[in-house]
Amino acid sequence: MKPETMLVRKLPGKVHFGMGMIPRTRLFLNWLFHRQSQTCVACGKLAGHFSEFTGLCTHCSIQIPWIYNIRCVHCGRPTFCPDCVRPDRLARYYICNRSAISYTPMAREWIGQFKYRGNEKFGPLLGEILNRAYQAMRHEFAGHNCTRFKRSLWDVDIVTCVPVSEKRLTERGFNQAQILAEKIAKQNKLPFLSLLVRPQDTGKQSFKSKNERMNTMNNAFSVIPNMVNLMDSFILKAGSQRAMEHMHSVTILLVDDIYTTGSTLQACARVLREKALEQGVHLAIFCLTLARS
């Protein structure tokens, strides 16, 4: 009998595995060891049991600061929002915003690891968290459950994102909002298209007051050339029957990482809608952000 075809041979007091079993056993043991030796991307501890979120242990997953109850239907804040009731905020260029989590110290650390330190391990995790919020939006704005809106997020035509300046792109090497938006588009089989550019760097908004943010963002963004024609081609390529029947009314999902005052989203939505209206196209813009501060 050839050694490579031998399965099991019993000898007194011993059990010998044939040559065909050894590689399989080794592979299984290697996989088991690797699984048990993985570390949680959030806490860095060895974790034999992981949650449904990529690279996150069960202990950390139960601490995700989800936004379950929405108090402000405009910005998605879980508490009363004094900003959205101000007279100057009544004219919005986007319909509403929804966020996945509250901007707690833990959320700030996770986003900071990904956004500023380039820790790519947080990318899939944050993308999955944001996708959970997108699914909640689909349910909230589904036509049979919603009386406030005739349109439904079930019929998003294009996913786009808040852009970063060339300076920030060079420093970080990526646009965190684009990565998140592309994940949403891919997981939900939606077309992604970069519709906006940021001609100049406006500096870090986290150090500015609300009025300073609004003034800075007034002329911070512009649309890509030939935007409307590109949207039409992407929608037709995606094969959306509703979109092909209503080419003059398009639903956009605008994605960003953090919602603070809404000035960034307001500025982006304004230039998108104004440019589209020049071509006779109405945009219904919904915003989706990872965290709400």
Structure tokens at 159: 């996913």
The domain containing residue 253 runs over which residues? 65-203+220-292
Asked if residues 201 and 167 have their Cβ atoms less than 8 Å apart, the reply is yes
Tell me the pLDDT of the chain averaged across its residues: 81
Nearest by Cα to 141 from 251, 240, 231, 254: 251
Mean pLDDT for the stretch of residues 188-209 = 79
3-state secondary structure of 236: helix
Asked if residues 133 and 288 have their Cβ atoms less than 8 Å apart, the reply is yes
Q: Among the residues of the chain, which ranges form H helices?
A: 21-37, 58-61, 105-115, 122-140, 166-172, 176-187, 210-217, 227-238, 241-245, 263-278
C-alpha separations of 33 from 21, 43, 48 in Å: 18, 20, 10
Q: Are residues 54 and 93 in the same domain?
A: no
Q: Are residues 45 and 79 in the same domain?
A: no
pLDDT band at 152 (very low <50, low <70, confident <90, very high): low
Q: Are residues 194 and 113 in the same domain?
A: yes
Q: Are residues 191 and 104 in the same domain?
A: yes
Comparison of pLDDT for 77 and 25, the residue scoring more: 77
Comparison of pLDDT for 113 and 206, the residue scoring more: 113
Mean pLDDT is lowest, of 3-7, 18-22, 137-141, 258-262, for: 3-7
Asked if residues 63 and 254 have their Cβ atoms less than 8 Å apart, the reply is no
pLDDT of residue 229: 86
CA atoms of 33 and 181, how far apart (whole Å): 35
pLDDT of residue 284: 93
Instruction: Identify the helix (H) or strand (E) that includes residue 196.
Output: strand 196-197
Q: Are residues 57 and 151 in the same domain?
A: no
pLDDT of residue 82: 86
Select the highest-mean-pLDDT range: 44-48, 201-205, 253-257. Answer: 253-257
Q: What is the DSSP letter of 247?
A: T
Token look-up 């044939």 returns 18
Q: Are residues 33 and 80 in the same domain?
A: no
Asked if residues 288 and 95 have their Cβ atoms less than 8 Å apart, the reply is no
pLDDT band at 14 (very low <50, low <70, confident <90, very high): very low
pLDDT at residue 148 tops 60 = no
In a domain, 5, yes or no: no
Q: Are residues 192 and 230 in the same domain?
A: yes
In a domain, 185, yes or no: yes
CA atoms of 95 and 116, how far apart (whole Å): 30
In a domain, 208, yes or no: no
Terminal Cα-to-Cα distance of the chain (whole angstroms): 71
Domain boundary among 28, 63, 98: 63
In single-letter form, the type of residue at position 186 comes to K
pLDDT of residue 248: 73
59: left (phi over 0), alpha (psi -120 to 50) or beta: alpha
pLDDT of residue 203: 64
pLDDT of residue 149: 53
Mean pLDDT is lowest, of 155-159, 160-164, 186-190, 201-205, for: 201-205
| Number of residues that this document lists for the chain | 293
Name the domain count of the chain.
Answer: 2
pLDDT at residue 241 tops 80 = no
CA atoms of 14 and 86, how far apart (whole Å): 81
Asked if residues 154 and 143 have their Cβ atoms less than 8 Å apart, the reply is yes
